[in-house]
Structure 1
Amino acid sequence: MARRQSRADIVSGAIIALTAMAGVAVWSRLPAEVAIHFSASGTPDNYVSKPVGVVLMPALMLGTLIVLKGAFRYDPPDVPQVAATVTVATMAFMGAIHGLVLAWNLGYQVPFDLVLVGSLVWAVLIVGYAVKMEYEHE
């Protein structure tokens, strides 16, 4: 019997698909070697071939989705909405990072100090949400 897909599964899958399509859409404008990792100052410190650069993040997103689904199945939160929110928020975050990496490789200025602050704010918000929801449930 097939398991019905949740709304979070569908949204997460759509985010992964959109992330993959973004790389395909800009393929012809990307350099042969794509920067995929940057120092805190915004200097690239790791490059990969264009095919790897375009496919790597969507593949990591899919792997992360599988790990999250397994973790939440093994140890479900008391409030089921927490698992859905954390999953979708994580896929959106990873997709946004891929978008910023593509933008940098296309020659756009990416404010890495704001990316770092935004990443920290995202982490605080999503962890705060999960803790608050679980605490309120007790």
Structure 2
Amino acid sequence: MRVDKKSLFLSVAICLLPILIGVYYYDVLPEQIAVHFNVSGEPDNFVSRTRAIIELPIFFAIVQVIISLVVDFDKTPKKGALIAKGIIPLISVLVQGGIVAYALDNNFNVPQLTVFVIGIVLIILGNYLPKKEFWGKYNFNLFGLEKGVNEQKVVRAYALYMTFCGVVIFISGFFSSTVALVLIVVIAIFSTVLPFYLVNKYKSSN
């Protein structure tokens, strides 16, 4: 396994970048900062400003290290690896930035930002998932799915579903956090079942 150390260090650094934002505003931040919000968009969990600034970026950095190693170990093509390694740093900057923004101005809507981020990520993945130049050979055995299927049809159908869900989630963010949350939960559940349905549908058409 050859680890791309340059992209690993860069992506982890981006994950940790929001810490500098927190440090910059540290003196004007409240002692307690909201880090979790209920379905109505109201904060329901607070931690000290030091923890709020440090913990989430470090968590994202750890997740990024794991994803980067998995991607490199799987020998994912360069274009696909770039997308896979770019999602967590993007989320880290936007979500942590949103938390700091809310601490500075309680009118900032962090749940709405989170919904937008989820929608954008799904749209990006749905757009690039079918392209083999990004991912190389699809490995259905990774999920315990059957062989002998038309891989391209399965992946294209799932990618279309992801793109559609991303658009729906993104649009829902303009209206209601509760509706968006329900949609995300339903989509997440259906997403675990859909691959098995698609494999069964296209297994004899290869």
Q: Give TM-score, length-normalised by structure 1.
A: 0.80
Cα contact 2:79–2:133 (8 A) shared by 1? no
Q: Give distance in 2, aligned partners of 1:46 and 1:128.
A: 33
Deviations 1:8-60 (A, max 9, x none): 33541442342110010111111111110111321111111111111012211
Give structure 1 stretches of 5+ with no counterpart: none
Change in Cα spacing, 1:67 to 1:13, as seen in structure 2 (3 Å) is: closer
Q: Give distance in 1, aligned partners of 2:44 and 2:112.
A: 19
Matching residue of 2:131:
133
Change in Cα spacing, 1:54 to 1:112, as seen in structure 2 (3 Å) is: closer
Change in Cα spacing, 1:28 to 1:83, as seen in structure 2 (3 Å) is: same
Matching residue of 2:121:
123
- Structure 1's consecutive aligned runs of 4 or more residues displaced over 6 angstroms after TM superposition are none
Matching residue of 1:62:
61
Q: How many aligned residue pairs are there? A: 134
Look up the equivalent residue of 1:43 and give its one-letter code: E
Q: Give distance in 2, aligned partners of 1:113 and 1:45.
A: 12
Q: Give distance in 2, aligned partners of 1:105 and 1:96.
A: 14
Q: Give distance in 2, aligned partners of 1:96 and 1:89.
A: 11
Residues 50-89 of structure 1 mapped to structure 2, 5 A cutoff? 50-77=49-76, 79-89=77-87
Pick which of 29-38 and 13-22 moved more: 13-22
Change in Cα spacing, 1:116 to 1:62, as seen in structure 2 (3 Å) is: closer
Q: Give distance in 1, aligned partners of 2:110 and 2:17.
A: 23
Q: Give TM-score, length-normalised by structure 2.
A: 0.56
Q: Give distance in 2, aligned partners of 1:113 and 1:14.
A: 25
Residues 6-21 of structure 1 mapped to structure 2, 5 A cutoff? 6=6, 8-21=7-20
Matching residue of 2:94:
96
Offset of 1:112 from its aligned partner?
Answer: 4.4
Deviations 1:85-117 (A, max 9, x none): 221232012211000000101124223463244
Matching residue of 2:25:
26
Change in Cα spacing, 1:10 to 1:20, as seen in structure 2 (3 Å) is: same
Cα contact 1:103–1:110 (8 A) shared by 2? yes
Q: Which has the higher contact order (CA 8 A, sep 6+)?
A: 1
Pick which of 86-95 and 119-128 moved more: 119-128
Deviations 1:49-78 (A, max 9, x none): 11111101221121011111222133232x
